[in-house]
Amino acid sequence: MTTLTLSRALNEGLRKALENDPKVLIMGEDVGKLGGVFRVTDGLMKDFGENRVIDTPLAESGIVGTAIGLALRGYRPVCEIQFDGFVYPAVDQIVSQLAKMRYRSLGNVALPVVIRIPCGGGIGAVEHHSESPEVLFTHTAGLRVVACADAADAFTMIQQSVSCDDPVIFFEPKRRYWDKGEVDTAAGVADALPLDRARVALEGADVTLLCYGPLVRTCLESAIAAREDGRSVEVVDLRSLSPLDTEVITASVRKTGRCVVAHEAPVYAGLGAEIAARVTEQCFYCLEAPVLRVGGFHTPYPPSRLEEHYLPDLDRILDAVDRTFGY
Amino acid sequence: MTVESGGATTAALQDHASQAPGTPGTPGEAGGLVQLLTPEGERTDHPGYPLDLPAADIRGLYRDMLLVRRIDTEAISLQRQGELGIWASLLGQEAAQIGSARALAAHDMVFPTYREHGVAWCRGIDPAKLLELYRGVSHGGWAPEEHKFGLYTIVIGSQTLHATGYAMGIQRDGAVGGDGAEAAIVYFGDGATSQGDVNESFVWASVFNAPVVFFCQNNQWAISEPLERQSRIPLYQRARGFGFPGLRVDGNDVLACYAVTKKAMQAAREGQGPTFIEAFTYRMGAHTTTDDPTRYRLASELEMWKLKDPIERVRAYLVRTGQAGPEFFAEVDAEADQLGSRVREACRTMSDPPPLAIFDNVYTEPDAIVAAEREQFAAYLDSFVDGEGEGR
Ligand SMILES: Cc1ncc(C[n+]2csc(CCOP(=O)(O)OP(=O)(O)O)c2C)c(N)n1
Ligand SMILES: [Mg+2]
């Protein structure tokens, strides 16, 4: 076991992927010499060369579009989008091309492209640097959408994503890049929890708290705080946002009878809505309260001096947990 | 507190345009770099850009550049002290920005990136508004039409299409040619030239002959990526392929930037369509305060560009030609000191917006969902308030 920051764990995972398969490429803005603005690709160009670690021209549609071409030619590109708010110029390539090529070719084409996107707020950034656009992609069939929450998962999930034959949108919780965790860098990924499975991060009995990415840590802290009120909160890290691991979700809710979904993205038409509907459909007779959601508002991401109010924090999550006991 | 800006001093410069005939940009294209003031401060002539500015105006350009450099220096230290979240420095690009912005007419419309602090200054934007954005108090918040200065645009290249569309509106309003004709100018970087939006804006501007000037500050870097990663030909040469003239100007020469912009804007207003201006300059600082340029570029490059400093050459010229003496420079320095302390004060006394401001201005009329969320959040905040809670 080694102690690594989440950013370093991704770096180690990418390094493994580059070592294990000569077809793996890294591409994006500033990923080479600079090592990415969050240093996730630090040192990779130096060690694997400019043919495999590519500083691209400044154009996101170009990054994803050429990654598709490279994939058609047998490569496995891992694209970096510098910040969440800059993925939109690439949305046409992602939604109309990347997601649909397998379907359109009747299965004759696989596009093993990974698109890494640092997401979420909490770092005091200027606009377009704090968004959570995951539902654009979960709403698009043909894409796998995952979010890592800690260093250990970052290390394995990035490798699993690279070896996945479907396109993967890989969300990285940017305010957690510097969080440290224990990582077994010697372990292979074969025995690891599969990419599309959720994980019970903390067992509990009274209420299920579903979360992913940056809010996993916040939810774990909330669960610990809730113990003071005598409440036992089960925290489930979804990990895969599409497909959703409904098995783990419903098993937990059937056990606890209560469910709260937390995400940074706006609540309105967010992933929580989909989860609430599914939980209601599948666990109706076990529910003691309606499924509640905590998340961002139906507003643009505010200036950073207001983000502490926009982002669900421990208090807002506990408030929702409390409310599920009021029914 | 607000800090007054430099908007008012624009007028003096309006009457001294070089209005040389001919296709805008052609001389520059043929003759390489348009330069009117060498790095040593020697005045040179260019046949396409005769310019005869009175001493007071040249002193005005010097003053503008010095003052915006001071705003920049203050902002960098405010960021270091934790007062700003981030800052994108304009160091080295003062001439490109002041020269081009002072060449505009009051009714021309400007579309900036996030680094156009010098242009903002010339359009009368209070520097405190820029600090608000970089402090995280607002997303800009000024009224574009009031200052004829669009919102700062962080998504690379988007504003080039906005400028082009705005220019198409000018055409449709019949405001091309004749008295009171208008044009738009859009600022963007060398990195931006790779974006689809920027290339699309070239196509639009060209086929509709829109009154828009593309002002590209080629500062040689897009964060860590050198120009060679965006283009194998000089950027200004791209314009020709799109069907309009392009030229390269010494972006550290405020007189040349003034002259070429004046002429290109005039051509646009007269119905001659777009011009691409590549202002060849250098980003002397880090990309932003969070960047570490030692990771990707050599210190010697910066040293070389320091010799081409945009402010020093004007100073040398003013001194050599006797157009300004020690009192003038002392006066401007004192003014910069005052401005610096006003900027610091404005930043330190800036208050955060109330939490419920999050919900304002999402739609024209309050939307039911937003209104409900606002109400719920207000009640939630109230649950904490017992006298000493923060205002909402
Ligand atoms: C669409 C988009 N992609 C990526 C970024 C991140 N980013 C911010 S500035 C920058 C480089 C811009 O370079 P250039 O256009 O030369 O302008 P400069 O910063 O040098 O003024 C990048 C990649 C962004 N803001 N927008
Ligand atoms: Mg640049």
Name the residue among A201, A197, A263 with its Cα closest to residue A233.
A201
Query: What residue ranges do the domains of chain A occupy?
Result: 2-183, 199-324
Give the containing element (helix H, strand E) for A235: strand A233-237
Q: How far apart are CA A24 and CA B192, in angstroms?
A: 28
Tell me how many domains chain B contains: 2
CA-based nearest distance A86→chain B, Å: 7
The reply to whether B166 belongs to the active site is: no
Q: How far apart are CA A86 and CA A251, in angstroms?
A: 37
pLDDT at A101: 98
Which of B135, B154, B194 comes nearest A127 by C-beta?
Answer: B154
Verify that B233 and B376 share a domain, yes or no: no
Nearest CA to ligand 1 atom 7: B156
Contacts of B154 in chain A (CB under 8 A): 85, 126-129
Are B155 and A85 in contact (CB < 8 Å)?
yes
Interface mutation vs chain A, best among B78, B156, B288, most A CBs within 10 Å? B156
CA-based nearest distance B101→chain A, Å: 25
β-pair type (A180-183, A2-5): antiparallel
B286 lines ligand 1 (CB under 6 A): no
Interface membership of B154 toward A (CB under 8 Å): yes
3-class DSSP assignment, residue B259: helix
Contacts of A178 in chain B (CB under 8 A): none
Classify the C-alpha dihedral A162-A163-A167-A173 as positive or negative.
Answer: negative
Distance B85 CA to ligand 1 centre (A): 17
**How far are the Cα atoms of B216, B262, B285, B337 from residue B271, in angstroms, in the given order?**
21, 15, 38, 44
Chain CA centroid to CA B36, Å: 21
**Per-residue pLDDT averaged across A142-165, rounded?**
98
Q: pTM surpassing 0.90?
A: yes
**φ and ψ at residue B216, rounded to 5 degrees:** -100, 115
SS3 assignment for B263-286: HHHHHHHCCCCCEEEEEECCCCCC
Chain CA centroid to CA B16, Å: 21
Interface membership of A302 toward B (CB under 8 Å): yes
Interface membership of A247 toward B (CB under 8 Å): no
How many CA atoms lie within 13 Å of A127's alpha carbon, on the beta-carbon side? Answer: 19
pLDDT at B14: 40
Instruction: Give the number of A-B residue pairs with CB atoms closer than 8 Å.
Output: 118
pLDDT at B15: 38
Chain CA centroid to CA B252, Å: 14
Q: How far apart are CA A152 and CA A101, in angstroms?
A: 32
The residues with which B186 forms a beta bridge, in sequence order, are: B111, B214
Which of B155, B156, B353 comes nearest A306 by C-beta?
Answer: B353
When mean pLDDT is compared across A189-193, A269-273, A287-291, B152-156, the lowest value belongs to A189-193
**Per-residue pLDDT averaged across B196-201, rounded?**
98
- Looking at residue A11, its amino acid is N
**Per-residue pLDDT averaged across B359-388, rounded?**
91
Q: Last residue of a domain, which of B333, B348, B363?
A: B348
Contacts of A38 in chain B (CB under 8 A): none
**Per-residue pLDDT averaged across A260-280, rounded?**
98
A86 lines ligand 1 (CB under 6 A): yes
Q: Last residue of a domain, which of B330, B348, B366?
A: B348
Contact B353, B392 (CB under 8 A): no
pLDDT at B25: 39
Name the residue among A179, A169, A165 with its Cα closest to residue A147.
A169
Q: Could you tell me the residue range of the domain that residue B360 belongs to?
A: 355-392
3-class DSSP assignment, residue A178: coil
Chain A CA closest to residue B192: A58
B70 lines ligand 1 (CB under 6 A): no
**Per-residue pLDDT averaged across B317-332, rounded?**
98
The reply to whether B296 belongs to the active site is: yes
First to last CA, chain A: 45
- Long-range contacts made by residues B165-173, C-beta under 8 angstroms, separation at least 24? B165/B204, B166/B109, B166/B111, B166/B212, B167/B205, B167/B210, B167/B211, B167/B212, B167/B268, B167/B274, B168/B204, B168/B208, B168/B210, B170/B109, B170/B210, B170/B211, B171/B208, B171/B209, B171/B210, B171/B211
Q: Tell me the per-residue pLDDT of B109-123, one tens digit each, with 9 for 90 and over.
A: 999 999 999 999 999
CA-based nearest distance B119→chain A, Å: 20
Verify that B114 and B160 share a domain, yes or no: yes
The token duo for A217 is: 């840590």
First to last CA, chain B: 21
How many of the other CB atoms lie within 10 Å of CB of B389? 11
Q: Which atom of ligand 1 is nearest to the CA of B114?
A: 21
Verify that B333 and B360 share a domain, yes or no: no
Tell me yes or no: is domain A199-324 CATH 2.60.120.20: no
Contact B181, B175 (CB under 8 A): yes
pLDDT greater than 60 at residue B344? yes
A2-183 against A199-324: fold identical? yes
Verify that B385 and B324 share a domain, yes or no: no
Q: How confident is the model at residue B32 (pLDDT cuts 50, 70, 90)?
A: confident
Distance B95 CA to ligand 1 centre (A): 21
Q: How far apart are CA B146 and CA A17, in angstroms?
A: 54
pLDDT greater than 50 at residue A269? yes
pLDDT at B12: 41
Interface membership of B370 toward A (CB under 8 Å): yes
Q: How confident is the model at residue B281 (pLDDT cuts 50, 70, 90)?
A: very high
pLDDT greater than 60 at residue B28? no
Q: Tell me the per-residue pLDDT of A20-74, one tens digit each, with 9 for 90 and over.
A: 999 999 999 999 999 999 999 999 999 999 999 999 999 999 999 999 999 999 9
pLDDT at B26: 43
Are B194 and A86 in contact (CB < 8 Å)?
no
**φ and ψ at residue A233, rounded to 5 degrees:** -105, 130
- DSSP readout, B63-124? HHHHHHHHHHHHHHHHHHTTSSS-----TT-HHHHHHHHHTS-TT-EEE--S--HHHHHHTT
3-class DSSP assignment, residue B253: coil
Contacts of A268 in chain B (CB under 8 A): 369, 373
Which of B132, B156, B355 comes nearest A309 by C-beta?
Answer: B355
CA-based nearest distance A172→chain B, Å: 19
The token duo for B340 is: 């610096």
Q: How far apart are CA B342 and CA B340, in angstroms?
A: 5
pLDDT at B31: 53
Are B138 and A319 in contact (CB < 8 Å)?
no
Q: How confident is the model at residue B10 (pLDDT cuts 50, 70, 90)?
A: very low
Options B43, B296, B363, B392, the catalytic residue = B296
Q: How confident is the model at residue A213 (pLDDT cuts 50, 70, 90)?
A: very high
- Looking at residue B36, its amino acid is L
ipTM of the complex: 0.96
Q: How confident is the model at residue B366 (pLDDT cuts 50, 70, 90)?
A: confident
Distance B6 CA to ligand 1 centre (A): 27
Q: How confident is the model at residue B385 (pLDDT cuts 50, 70, 90)?
A: confident
Q: What is the dihedral of CA B27, B31, B35, B39, to 10 degrees?
A: 180
Are B136 and A33 in contact (CB < 8 Å)?
no
Q: Tell me the per-residue pLDDT of A112-136, one tens digit each, with 9 for 90 and over.
A: 999 999 999 999 999 999 999 999 9
Q: How confident is the model at residue A251 (pLDDT cuts 50, 70, 90)?
A: very high
Nearest CA to ligand 1 atom 12: B222
Are B373 and A302 in contact (CB < 8 Å)?
no
| CATH, residue B46 | 3.40.50.970
pLDDT greater than 90 at residue B310? yes
Verify that B342 and B359 share a domain, yes or no: no
Nearest CA to ligand 1 atom 20: B222
Q: Tell me the per-residue pLDDT of A130-151, one tens digit each, with 9 for 90 and over.
A: 999 999 999 999 999 999 999 9
Q: How far apart are CA A22 and CA A124, in angstroms?
A: 38
- Write the CATH number of the domain with boundaries A2-183: 3.40.50.970
pLDDT greater than 70 at residue B24? no
Contacts of A309 in chain B (CB under 8 A): 355, 358, 377
Options B287, B315, B344, B374, the catalytic residue = B287
Contacts of A127 in chain B (CB under 8 A): 139, 154
Q: Tell me the per-residue pLDDT of B75-87, one tens digit each, with 9 for 90 and over.
A: 999 999 999 999 9
A89 lines ligand 1 (CB under 6 A): yes
